[in-house]
Amino acid sequence: MNHNYKYIVIEGNIGAGKTSLAQKIAESYNARLILEKFADNPFLPRFYKDPERFSFPLELSFLADRYMQLKNEIGNMDIFSPFTVADFYFMKSIVFASATLESDEFKLYRQLFNIIYQSLPRPDLYVYLHVDPSRLLQNIDIRGRDYEKSIDEEYLLKIQRSYFSWFRQNPDNAYLIIDASNIDFVHNERDYEKVTDVIFGQSHEQGMNRTIL
């Protein structure tokens, strides 16, 4: 295990398995777990029904919620845990906003994001789970959230492009991009071990580090 990591973030598109992987890592390594609290967001079901009307209030509410959660939880790191693993980071706000907001709204949103972003500590490693949109749609269908039924491949591709745009624009961070389209780390223990071997058994430099499993 790489003991240099104190704070790892699992990122990825909708349905990529971020939460499942973060939970399994926390259990395996006795790590502190931070999960995004989004289920109670009142704008999310409305957004999927009417994106044009509710995209801006949705993204603003996520911006505020993610900041408050990370500020409170990262500020109280557990000294008895070897590291912290989270299934989201604050940059997720700008990734999704750039895919959903109109240009004038996004300019305002980005100003607010940049002010807040500077005050938060950076993860030691971003793990990005790259999964084909067709597989993502299958995963979304399996978990059966009613408000996600309207998600289509075009929207998922927008989110994917937005993530990679962020990675390119912020090369000072260390990104581990794992192509997980052909594995099942949730139900297959050998696949899970492949993922953890890459995360903890290898060193990852600044910029994008890619691997296909």
CATH architecture of 7-212: 3-Layer(aba) Sandwich (3.40)
Per-residue pLDDT of 103-155, as tens digits, reads: 999 999 999 999 999 989 899 999 999 999 999 999 999 988 888 888 999 99
DSSP string over 7-65: EEEEEESTTS-HHHHHHHHHHHHT-EEE----TT-THHHHHHH-HHHHHHHHHHHHHHH
187 token code pair: 């139900």
Q: Which residue has the higher pLDDT, 3 or 93?
A: 93
Burial class (CB in 10 A: 0-12, 13-18, 19+), 103: exposed
Contact 123, 5 (CB under 8 A): no
Cα 127 from Cα 204, distance rounded (Å): 10
Q: Does 76 score more than 90 pLDDT? A: no
Q: Does 2 score more than 60 pLDDT? A: no
pTM recorded for the entire structure: 0.91
Contact 122, 5 (CB under 8 A): no
Q: What is the mean pLDDT of residues 45-51?
A: 88
Adjacent-strand bridge partners of 178? 129, 211
Task: Give the distance from CA 197 to its chain's centroid.
Answer: 20
Q: Would you kindly state where each structural domain of the chain is located, as residue ranges?
A: 7-212
Per-residue pLDDT of 156-204, as tens digits, reads: 999 999 999 999 999 999 999 999 999 999 999 999 999 999 999 998 9
Confidence of residue 74 (pLDDT cuts 50, 70, 90): confident
Calculate the CA dihedral of residues 124, 18, 48, 99 and round it to 10 degrees: 40
What's the Cα-to-Cα distance from 212 to each of 34, 52, 71, 129, rounded to whole Å? Answer: 26, 36, 34, 10
- Rounded to 10°, the helix 51-74/103-117 angle is 0
Amino acid in the structure at residue 100 = T
Q: Does 67 score more than 80 pLDDT? A: yes
Per-residue pLDDT of 18-33, as tens digits, reads: 999 999 999 999 999 9
